């Protein structure tokens, strides 16, 4: 069932379609897509496009790649970018794991954002979470040396799971939030409706920020993945501090 506010995105305009890349599994030629060579920022699960559109408008000298499972959200994200005059973004549909593994070039991203992925909070469902060791290895391949990876979640055990999984890939990432490895409720530059709602409810949000080293990423076999089902929170963005995003 499509929410009334999303029905307008069932049909893409020509302008919206110009910011949506083709489906498939072939690697992206990012300079050809954007018509230039510029730093690339990747948002995985870009939701309704609040974060990526504002970031693209704030950084016109950089290019933004957004991946999102829901087709209507992709169209809405393109619409938001156009509304802000940001044409330096390209949106792609599909599963995040496949997109990162098959389509993103090696060492292509200077920033990677994963903000409020679906937490799958029930213990029996946690195997469906995105942030597995294999996915983090693929993400490490995509990240250029010096790339910063920013993660945010209101599900704290998920944040700890990410940190734990990264310890099984030693030497690939440098934690920029010592000594604990995370920060709670830091000021954010472009908060989304979801983040504001969670904070208004009194929930605390945990953030990670890590920097990619120059150690080569291991190549791990693609794991068997159970179906994810509903993606009620996957890819809802908007949780970075001004300090993080200005660097």
Q: What is the residue whose two structure tokens read 């693209």?
A: 56
Instruction: List the one residue out of 237, 221, 240 whose CA is nearest residue 80.
Output: 237
Q: Catalytic annotation on 118?
A: yes
The CA-atom distances, in angstroms, between 215 and each of 94, 141, 212, 247 are: 29, 10, 8, 22
Q: What are the tokens at 23? A: 């489906």
End-to-end Cα spacing for the chain? 41
**119 φ, ψ to 5°?**
-80, -20
| Whole-number Å distance between alpha carbons of 69 and 97 | 11
Catalytic choice (29, 61, 70, 118): 118
DSSP-assigned letter for residue 87: -
Alpha-helix runs per DSSP H in 144-218: 156-167, 193-200
Residue pair 119/155 in contact by the 8 Å Cβ criterion: yes
Q: What are the tokens at 229? A: 């089902």
With a CB cutoff of 8 Å and minimum separation 6, the contacts of 220 are 133, 134, 137, 138
- Which residue numbers are catalytic? 118
């Amino acid at each position: 069932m499509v929410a009334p506010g999303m029905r307008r995105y069932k049909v893409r305009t020509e302008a919206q379609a110009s910011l949506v890349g083709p489906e498939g599994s072939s690697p992206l030629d990012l300079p050809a897509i954007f018509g230039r060579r510029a730093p690339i920022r990747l948002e995985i699960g870009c939701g309704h496009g609040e974060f990526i559109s504002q970031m693209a408008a704030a950084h016109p000298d950089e290019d933004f790649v957004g991946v999102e499972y829901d087709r209507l959200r992709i169209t809405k994200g393109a619409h938001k970018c156009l509304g802000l005059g940001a044409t330096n973004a390209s949106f792609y549909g599909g599963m995040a794991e496949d997109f990162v593994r098959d389509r993103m070039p090696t060492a292509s991203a200077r920033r990677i954002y994963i903000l409020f992925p679906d937490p799958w909070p029930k213990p029996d469902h946690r195997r469906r979470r995105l942030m597995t060791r294999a996915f983090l290895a693929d993400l490490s391949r995509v990240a250029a040396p010096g790339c910063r990876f920013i993660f945010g979640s209101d599900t704290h055990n998920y944040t700890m799971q990410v940190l734990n999984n990264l310890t099984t890939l030693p030497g690939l990432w440098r934690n920029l939030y010592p000594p604990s490895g995370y920060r709670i409720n830091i000021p954010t530059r472009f908060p989304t409706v979801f983040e504001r709602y969670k904070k208004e409810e009194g929930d605390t949000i945990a953030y990670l920020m890590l920097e990619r080293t120059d150690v080569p990423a291991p190549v791990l076999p693609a794991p068997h993945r159970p179906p994810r089902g509903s993606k009620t929170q996957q890819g809802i963005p908007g949780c970075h501090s001004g300090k993080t995003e200005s660097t």
